[in-house]
Amino acid sequence: MGLSPEKLFYNLTEVCENFSIAPSTLRYWESEFPSLNPKRNDKGTRFYDKNDIEEIARIHILVKQNKYTIQGAIEKLKVDKQQVDHNVKILKKLKKIKEFLSQLKQEL
């Protein structure tokens, strides 16, 4: 079973079936990974959006496929996020430099 790309939210059962994990595993991951925080309705039913699904996929790869411990996966995700944040900062600086050089070129 694959998750339908048209849907905005998926329930716990759909997500667990898609990743072949037990509901208790997914609930445990929610308690351990701060980045995994699904929406809930008034009854407490969990609803996962596309960002949650992407995060679950990253966790699944690290924990189930690459055999990371939970703590190891948390650290790996932190490092990756820091690397992405760092790259974004560099790209912003490069864009400013490019704009400056373009402006300088026009003045010559």
How far is C-alpha 83 from the geometric centre of its chain's CA atoms? 14
pLDDT tens profile 1-12: 578 888 999 999
Residue 16, C-beta contacts closer than 8 angstroms, at least 6 positions apart: 22, 23, 25, 26
- Res 26: pLDDT: 98
| Tens place of pLDDT per residue across the chain (108 aa) | 578 888 999 999 999 999 999 999 999 999 999 999 999 999 999 999 999 999 999 999 999 999 999 999 999 998 888 886 777 688 889 989 999 999 999 998
Structural domains of the chain, with CATH: 10-78 (1.10.1660.10)
Q: How far is CA 81 from the centre of its chain?
A: 9
Residue 54, CB-side half-sphere exposure with 13 Å CA sphere: 6
* 18 closest CA partner among 48, 38, 62, 42: 48
Q: What is the pLDDT of residue 82?
A: 80
